[in-house]
Chains A and B, each alone.
Chain A
Amino acid sequence: MWTFIHKLGSPRWFYAISARLQPWFWAAAALLLLVGSVWGLAFAPADYQQGNSFRIIYVHVPAAFLAQSIFVAMAVAGLIFMVWKIKVADMAAAMMAPLGAAMTFIALFSGAVWGMPTWGTWWMWDARLTSMLILLFLYFGVIALRGAFSSRDSASRAASVLAMVGVINIPIIKYSVDWWYTLHQPATFTVTSRPSMPMEMWLPLLIMLLGFYSFFIALTLMRTRSEILRRESTKRWVRDLAAEEA
């Protein structure tokens, strides 16, 4: 088991394995996103209150899910890097951060776009949107901290610590923001927490969600692979690889 993990942790091995996994995730992402968006945008029934504007949840909800998952994944990768000194984990974490920030931004943007027809304003200090905004700042912090160090080894460790501190804080932030929101705006209409969504609505949502996750995995694999080549460019096996290609 341990030898397996360490083997997986070696950049060279990860590079080889991910080459085989990557196409599958790309294919799954393309298929799921295509089916999900066609189904969600064209065939799912319109909402009885919001009409067609609700269809933005097919982007908003998966992006919001992914934004939070990526932060957790980043912290887990940071932990793996700190405890077992597996460099691939750090490379993956470094590659995930901008992606997570982008997802958070998409969730915020789609939330604002959704807010216009629903609330009549682009921005409301809604609990979910506020949490998302704070999450975006947390991502900015991790990215900025990694960029601030001149030594990459230190940058990796500092970013890992911050990601772990952040991940402990995310639930606390989330609950306190929820609490703050209910205190200040009691019983307003919250868009995403509906008691029951008909099957025809949430099935495409589920498909979109899976599609987003596959896309994230595929993209992270791809970016981590190029990061491996960049960081290991002085290593023998990378040079052999380059010679083979040429």
Chain B
Amino acid sequence: MPGTETPMTDTEAAMPFHREPRGGLMVALRATLKRDLVLLLRRRSEVLNPLVFFALVITLFPIGISPDPELLATIAPGLLWVAALLAALLSLDSLFRGDYDDGSLEQLLLTPQPLAALGLAKVAVHWLLTGLPLALMAPVLGIMLSLPAGSYGILALSLALGTASLSLIGAIGAALTVGLSRGGVLLSLLVLPLYIPVLIFGAGAVQAAILGDGVAAHLAILGALLAVTLMFAPWAIAASLRISING
């Protein structure tokens, strides 16, 4: 009967069960990266769908507005950025959902390794297979929108930098809504307002490149935004996952 004796004596406390740490965090991180990469590459449609969506949305604009190259060129930076942002958003809902449904998320929460770091690994895979391909694909769509020459490199670079922040911020929303059966629309509602600064400076960078202004400031701010999100987002993701797992 544990209530009668005082169970917590210091002699017992002096001998906690202890194991020698082995590979530790790096091993777990590498395994998580590898697992998620393999998973996504086995379901290739999940990687391709955002890219197709991106191309499709870009196709809608000339049809909906006008095929006039001059007009398209003026709005191209914003269009490309908005469409890429939506495409990245589209793939976020599945970021933790599979792990939630099959119980892997519980196991992830119970490893001795910090959840924030493991969550970050999952986000890194998401960016690698969503944000980065979108960034690489954007110049091609830029040609179709008559994006002025000289801004293609900046377009890809700003998207690569920006989508990293988008993946991190979006992962907070994905973690908050993963326990909800219909989290998809809610996820957009939570995440899109938080995307606005990235959109402003991302599209601004391309705009500046077209106008021939310096783009260093924009890219620096995008980098700074990424640094700030890298600092805060992993903790918010970890806290949100813990909340969702108990919902």
Contacts and interface: CB of A to CB of B under 8 A. Distances in A.
B176 A144 contact: no
Contacts of A165: 172, 194, 232, 236
A144 B193 contact: no
Interface string B223-247: 0010010001000100110011011
B197 A173 contact: yes
Interface string B166-193: 0000001000110110010010011011
11 contacts: A137-B193, A138-B194, A144-B189, A144-B190, A145-B186, A149-B247, A151-B247, A158-B243, A165-B194, A166-B194, A169-B194
A183 interface: yes
Given A149-B180, A149-B247, A180-B200, A158 B189 contact: no
Contacts of A168: 232
Interface residues of B, number: 27
Contacts of A162: 176, 190
A141 interface: yes
A177 interface: yes
A34 B236 CA distance: 44
Contacts of A180: 200, 204
Contacts of A52: none
Contacts, number: 79
Nearest to B233: A165
A2 B246 CA distance: 29
Interface in A12-53: none
B31 interface: no
Which of A140, A150, A158 has its CB near the most chain B CB atoms (within 10 A)? A158
Given A141-B186, A148-B186, A172-B197, 13 more contacts: A144-B186, A144-B189, A148-B183, A149-B180, A149-B247, A150-B247, A151-B247, A154-B247, A158-B176, A173-B194, A173-B196, A177-B196, A179-B200
B81 interface: no
A172 B231 CA distance: 15
Interface string B187-212: 00110111011001100100000000
A175 B221 CA distance: 12
A206 interface: no
A150 B232 CA distance: 27
Interface string A180-216: 1001000000000000000000000000000000000
A145 B183 CA distance: 9
